[in-house]
Homo-oligomer: A and B are copies of this chain.
């Protein structure tokens, strides 16, 4: 059965809340409690999880440790993934020094920049490689996921190279609408889009 993409996108949030519960000493949770924590309905949680089988016993709640393990397996998080960064400007440097990737199994193994004056420099223990060698560098390091942090004007051309190189997962920080084939997943990290989806709620409705 095909799982809707919105469900897949919610699972990491479930996983994070479950992990926080476990760290706080909780071992069992029901969908009601989990829903309150995640600020979604318990029905949605039960429905989302039902795509992947049966996790809880009726009226007994979920064993958190077990559910975490299952979700990590479903999401492919019980292994490590090799990540590359394209664009080592100010944002790229903040990304590369982000301490949250490694503990979650995401290893940044290569970085690239088009500016020949920074190529060869070392950032976060990695030597900056030229973007002109992107496809070869990705293959050499067995990269599966690429972070794009280049200026907007260059984002699509970089993404086209990534797609040609067989990359199926892209995290794009450039604030621009980009195109990928249907078998490639792209997620956009964009504070402006996030702002723009909140100002709606700050704006009093027109009187009409």
Q: How far is the CA of A95 from the CA of B192 in the complex (A)?
A: 11
Which of B93, B182, B193 makes the CB contact (< 8 A) with A12?
A: B193
Q: How far is the CA of A106 from the CA of B194 in the complex (A)?
A: 12
Q: How far is the CA of A9 from the CA of B97 in the complex (A)?
A: 29
- Chain multiplicity (copies): 2
Asked whether, in the complex, the Cβ of A191 is within 8 Å of the Cβ of B16, the reply is no
Asked whether, in the complex, the Cβ of B198 is within 8 Å of the Cβ of A185, the reply is yes
Asked whether, in the complex, the Cβ of B197 is within 8 Å of the Cβ of A12, the reply is yes
**Given contacts A177-B37, A202-B169, is CB(A196)–CB(B75) below 8 Å?**
yes
Asked whether, in the complex, the Cβ of A195 is within 8 Å of the Cβ of B76, the reply is no
Which of B106, B168, B194, B200 makes the CB contact (< 8 A) with A76?
A: B200
Asked whether, in the complex, the Cβ of A74 is within 8 Å of the Cβ of B200, the reply is yes
Q: How far is the CA of A91 from the CA of B201 in the complex (A)?
A: 27
Chain A interface (Cβ < 8 Å from any Cβ of B): 6, 8-9, 11-13, 15-17, 20, 37-39, 74-77, 81, 83, 90-91, 93-95, 97-98, 100-101, 104, 106, 144-145, 147, 168-169, 171, 175-177, 179-180, 182, 185, 187, 189, 191-203
Closest to A172 in B: B194
Cross-chain pairs A/B with CB under 8 angstroms, 8 sampled: A13-B177, A76-B202, A90-B97, A104-B192, A145-B195, A145-B202, A171-B194, A185-B201
